[in-house]
Structure 1
Amino acid sequence: MSTPALADVASGYRAARTLPLRVELARQLKRRRTMVMFGILAALPFVLVAAFAIGGDPEGRGDRVTLMDTATASGANFAAVSLFVSAGFLLVIPVALFCGDTVASEAGWSSLRYLLAAPVPRARLLWSKLAVGLGLSLAAMVLLPVVALAVGTAAYGWGPLAIPTGGSLAAGTAAQRLAVVVAYVFVSQLVTAGLAFWLSTRTDAPLGAVGGAVGLTIVGNVLDAVTALGDWRHFLPAHWQFAWADAVQPRPEWSGMIQGTAVSVTYALVLFALAFRGFARKDIVS
């Protein structure tokens, strides 16, 4: 028995050419929340410099010296401290925002069904939005240390990265290690990106997707603080979020970052797969 003929499509139509990345990127860059988020991250180093200028140089706690205590040693130290104070929570916000708002906002504007009727295949729409969301998240994470390095160098000078445990890294080596740190922080935030993106395909409320991802990330941090869980905490992405500190040592240790990467990527792939699977079967009415 012959297969029924497929419906005719418009001449020149190519599913792979619908919703190009450059179009989606331009749409997202023009949104006010994108500009506000980038503005906040770019302003943070200036706020920290002002705080140190008002409060004076950080002082060690007795015989214990922390990374925060070396913040004004050089521009490299200032950039490392900026990452340290923001990696736990502040950098979660742009990831949740860019990946959680992307699909839900279209549903909230009642434009999602029109995009799919364009027609943009569902998988193509999700791939475009996910790629742009992750790209903007990475840009946000790169922006902070780059601005911090420039501001810190102007305020405290260009020099080696002083290590709290003793010793230092040459400025060039420190810049390379900070690049590794940024890459690891981005990978560690893939779980938040996966949560936000999955929730974005499940709700028409952008705030629900963004807030849900941030809330679940906070829950993970709280659970990691429960020492009674013992080795079970090793399965929590939050347990490895500061493993990047091993990269700013005279002899870097990679085992913690490797384990953290494996955990984060595994969770993220599962969440992304759930998002694509659920959206493919979802009845779009918005």
Structure 2
Amino acid sequence: MAAPSETRPETGAATAALPLRAELRRQLGRRRTIGILAVLVALPLVLIGAFALGGPSDGTAPTFVDLAQYGGPNLTVFALYAATGFLLIIVVALFFGDTVPSEAAWGTLRYLLIAPVPRARLLGSKLIIAGLSAVAAMIVLPVWTLIVGGFAYGWNSYLSPTGDQLSLGDFLLRLPIIIGYLILNLAVVAALAFAFGVLTDAPLAAVGGAVMVMIVSAILDSIPALGPIADGLPGHFAFAWATALAPTIDFSRMATGALWSIGYAIIGFGFAFWWFLRKDITS
């Protein structure tokens, strides 16, 4: 009778190893997560401070930067424009590229697998939490910026440089579309960082590899001679979310960009699982 009672806890511990809530607690307590949150919270405050230090407009037609001070919606759009090309790429790459190699760097990855934890389950838990963290970050930035901008500049309608306007209510309906597209479009960055993460024990290499691919893609995208080939470059449709701010939304560019990104993401995440399930964990 004693033997079964002693072995049963071991089996239960193995099957319950690394539940999502445990992985979530670990990631929320990481300095990386706290640092990202601090940057996202500080960004709209920094923008408002920079605008306050700047001089008045020279009287010519207002520019996109000048309109950022028109109201909360305009500041939100400006912050997203400023963050889409680089900051959000780094944020997503950090969440997805750091999660696996950090365990290897700490020497805990092999221990987790000896526990034993099924490799697919371990990788799936980390992928889910990284995804939730990235989605939360991409929601926090525009929502927090809208709140800060509303109190700083007022709750006016959105005004585009071409003179088109969206009421505050319409803008609030368009914002989830913008956020949703950003999440889909940055899936390619997530897949790249996650795939690099199972190939290396160095978190910086995984994050830097994904960011470097996006930088090279942006450089190639600036070459007009590529023509239609550029449509397949990661990040080519990064700013297609701006079409959601038109009086009538044209979903064609967002749909094309989302399909390209999802295709790359399927390949990247599929490779990550395929490689990790066959990899010798020695670190």
> Which whole-Å deviations, capped at 9, do the CAs of 1:49-93 have from their partners, x for residues lacking one?
011111145668x66x65333111110111111111111001111
TM-score with structure 2 setting the length? 0.93
Identity within the alignment, %: 49
Which residue of 190, 207, 211 maps to 1:210? Answer: 207
Instruction: Give the alignment's Cα RMSD to 1 decimal.
Output: 1.7
- Structure number with the higher helix fraction is 2
Alignment: residue pair count: 276
**C-alpha separation between the residues in 1 aligned to 2:28 and 2:279?**
28
Matches of 2:244 and 2:197, distance apart in 1: 34
Runs of 4+ that moved beyond 6 A: none
- Look up the match of 2:102: 105
* 173-182 or 273-282, larger mean C-alpha shift: 173-182
**Cα distance, 1:112 vs structure 2:** 0.3
Q: 2:113 pairs with 112, 116, 134, which one?
A: 116
Q: 1:204-224: per-residue Cα shift (whole Å, max 9, x none)?
A: 111110111111111111111
Question: Cα gap change, 1:214/1:59 in structure 2, threshold over 3 Å: closer, same or farther?
Answer: farther
Counterpart for residue 162 of structure 1: 159
**Separation in structure 2 between the aligned mates of residue 214 and residue 176 of structure 1, nearest angstrom:** 31
Q: Deviations over 1:158-178 (max 9, x none)?
A: 121112222211101101212
Q: 1:58·1:68 contact (CA, 8 Å) conserved in 2? A: no
Match of 1:68 in 2: 65
Say which SS state the counterpart of residue 243 (structure 2) adopts: helix
Distance 1:59 1:130, change over 3 A: farther
Pick aligned residue for 1:79 from 65, 76, 87:
76
- 2:87 is matched with 90
* Equivalence for 1:6: none
Could you tell me whether the CA contact under 8 Å between 1:18 and 1:124 is conserved in 2? no
Contact 2:185 2:258 in 1 (8 A): yes
The residue type equivalent to 1:72 in the other structure is Q
Matches within 5 A, 1:240-255: 240-255=237-252
Question: How far is the alpha carbon of 1:13 from its aligned partner?
Answer: 3.5
Contact kept, 8 Å, 1:52 with 1:58, in 2: the verdict is no
CA contact (8 A) 2:72 2:154 kept: yes
Q: Where do 1:176-215 residues align within 5 Å?
A: 176-215=173-212
Please, what TM-score do these two structures have when normalized by structure 1? 0.92
Query: Aligned pair in 2 of structure 1 residues 93, 238: CA closer, same or farther (>3 Å)?
Result: same
Structure 1 pair 161–282 and aligned structure 2 pair: CA distance change class (3 A): same
Structure 2: tracts of 5 or more residues without a match:
1-6
